Amino acid sequence: HVQLVESGGASVQAGGSLRLTCITSGLSVSRKALAWIRQSPGKERDVIASVDTGGVRTLYADSVKGRFTISRDSAQNRLYLQMDSLKSEDTGRYYCAASGPDFVFTLEKRYFSYWGQGTQVTVS
């Protein structure tokens, strides 16, 4: 069983920075790609960043490219999202997620089978 717990969300001013952390557990986590998925008010959830099993390759949605950085630690049991130059449109609930057995390395949310509880980010 894969478990994911996010932390680090807060209310910040536009232009500020935040670092989100996801604690992962489960014997299969090291064999899964990880991602951050955002749900903005009135919108469906979208994958905004993902990282492969080895922490080498990354993908970003155009809306966050150049401002956000996704990474996983050497033990591959922590997932991070460094968020810089935050904008009001970055407001939303951020979830970490892990890939399922049919995963293709893209930003398509249907490939992620495991979800955390989310952490709220508000930019004003």
In whole angstroms, what is the distance from residue 60 CA to residue 70 CA?
A: 9
Beta bridge partners of 4: 24
pLDDT digits (tens, 9 = 90+) for 53-112: 888 999 999 999 999 999 999 677 899 999 999 999 999 999 999 998 877 888 999 999
pLDDT digits (tens, 9 = 90+) for 12-70: 999 999 999 999 998 688 889 999 999 999 899 999 999 998 889 999 999 999 999 99
Question: What span, in angstroms and rounded, lies between the C-alpha atoms of 74 and 60?
Answer: 21
- 8 Å CB contact between 70 and 60: yes
